[in-house]
């Protein structure tokens, strides 16, 4: 029996107060300095009607306010639990399915083989809050090209680690484990799509999906699957965890869309973590360069 703990709209969330101890404060400041020295390859931020720019959220915000149900359903649970129990070394990623070069890769080898990029992206959770995160990682399309997908490979499926010993949340049937996600091949090959390995130039913290997580910034946050152990090329649209959990509420595409409301709340506006006034939600989260991927697709039906 599946116990549904629905995601909660931000209007009903009382944000956790951020208590900084001295060490955390110094750590966050060091992160900001490291980030300042890193050229931000793509500050892909559309000018909203709000004159306030897309200033990156603090390292503290990004690493203490998380959704990672494998470690609990409260926003503060992943930061408290994940660093204690998730072992990220060694880490193996299996790449397979419809491709000519399947393989099992040590995380380090997979990353070392590819060009490192730094990208600051907005992230919009389906719960109607958002953040701006300076990611480090590699392009998903580089990893895909290396595997030589066959012509029949129309989708890519991603799987999170399934190990209740390391992920205590998996001992409860809050979701159908392991967490699954998928992209259409052209979405996965889009230059915006990345596999993140870091934040603010530092290694990805456990609570953010160490050592490797997907980032597709024009889609709702739940598409950004964490702690990936398997990437598989398939010919049919894969099932994804939130769609399995509540098919009337969460779809496969999950493109950020202010005109298509969640059945239980509006998606027209969002709360940027750290701000009080709500800002308007942007179509495709402001990444209008992806619009051509969906020409002819009814985005109301394919939510
Ligand atoms: N494996 C896994 N991946 C996941 C989730 C999860 O619960 N488990 N939550 C998703 C949701 S709903 C969001 S909003 C983002 C949050 O990413 P962040 O905590 O790094 O901000 O991760 C996504 N990836
Ligand atoms: Mo989310």
Domain assignment present for 299: no
In this structure, what CATH number is given to the domain that contains residue 197?
Answer: 3.90.420.10
Predicted local distance difference test score (pLDDT) of residue 53: 79
Query: Which DSSP string corresponds to 80-144?
Result: HHHHHH---SS-EEEEEESBSS-EEEEHHHHHHTS--EEEEEEEE-TTSEEEEEEEEEEEHHHHH
The verdict on residue 15 lying in a domain is yes
Domain range for 244 is: 10-294
Look at residues 246, 250, 247, 176 and name the one whose alpha carbon lies nearest to residue 219: 250
Inside any domain, residue 207 = yes
**265 cis-preceded (ω within 30 degrees of 0):** no
Q: Domain for residue 31, yes or no?
A: yes
Q: How far apart are CA 236 and CA 242, in angstroms?
A: 18
Nearest to 43 by CA among 121, 115, 138, 135: 121
Q: Is residue 5 part of a domain?
A: no
CA–CA dist 141, 156 (Å, integer): 11
- C-alpha 115 – ligand 2 centre gap (Å): 28
Query: Residue 42: what pLDDT?
Result: 43
pLDDT at 52: 59
Q: Is 160 in the pocket of ligand 1 (CB under 6 A)?
A: yes
Number of domains the chain is built from: 1
Q: What is the pLDDT of residue 32?
A: 47
Determine if residue 49 is labeled as part of a ligand binding site: no
Instruction: Among the bound ligands, name the one nearest to the CA of residue 227.
Output: 1
pLDDT tens figures, 275-301: 999 999 999 999 999 999 999 999 999
Q: What integer pLDDT is reported at residue 295 of this predicted model?
A: 97
- Positions in the chain whose pLDDT score sits under 50: 1-6, 8-51
129 alpha carbon to ligand 2 midpoint, in Å? 8
Q: Which atom of ligand 1 is nearest to the CA of 242?
A: 12
In a domain, 100, yes or no: yes
CA of 224 to the centre of ligand 1 (A): 6
Answer yes or no: is 21 within a domain.
yes
Residue 303 domain flag? no
């Amino acid at each position: 029996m599946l116990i549904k703990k629905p995601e909660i709209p931000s209007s009903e969330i009382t944000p956790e107060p951020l208590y900084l101890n001295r060490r955390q404060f110094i750590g966050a400041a060091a992160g900001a300095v490291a980030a300042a020295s890193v050229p931000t390859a793509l500050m892909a931020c559309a000018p909203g009607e709000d004159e306030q720019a897309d200033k990156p959220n603090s390292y503290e915000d990004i690493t203490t306010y998380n959704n990672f149900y494998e470690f609990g359903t409260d926003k503060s649970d992943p930061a408290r639990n994940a660093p204690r129990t998730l072992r990220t070394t060694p880490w193996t990623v299996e790449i397979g399915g419809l491709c000519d070069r399947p393989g099992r890769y040590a995380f380090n080898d997979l990353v070392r083989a590819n060009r490192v990029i730094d990208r600051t992206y907005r992230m919009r959770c389906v719960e109607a809050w958002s953040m701006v995160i300076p990611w480090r990682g590699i392009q998903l399309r580089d990893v895909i090209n290396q595997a030589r997908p066959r012509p029949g490979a129309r989708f890519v499926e991603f799987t999170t680690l399934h190990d209740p010993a390391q992920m205590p949340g998996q001992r409860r049937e809050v979701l159908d484990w392991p967490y699954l996600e998928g992209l259409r091949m052209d979405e996965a090959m889009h230059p915006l799509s990345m596999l993140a390995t870091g934040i603010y130039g530092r290694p990805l913290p456990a609570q953010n999906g160490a050592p490797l997580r997907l980032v597709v910034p024009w889609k709702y946050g739940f598409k950004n699957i964490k702690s990936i152990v398997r990437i598989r090329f398939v010919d049919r649209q894969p099932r994804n965890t939130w769609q399995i959990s509540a098919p009337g509420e969460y779809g496969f595409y999950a493109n950020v869309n202010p005109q298509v409301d969640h059945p239980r709340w509006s998606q027209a506006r969002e709360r940027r973590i750290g701000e009080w006034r709500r800002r308007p939600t942007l179509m495709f989260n402001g990444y209008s360069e992806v619009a051509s991927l969906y020409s002819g697709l009814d985005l109301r039906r394919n939510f």
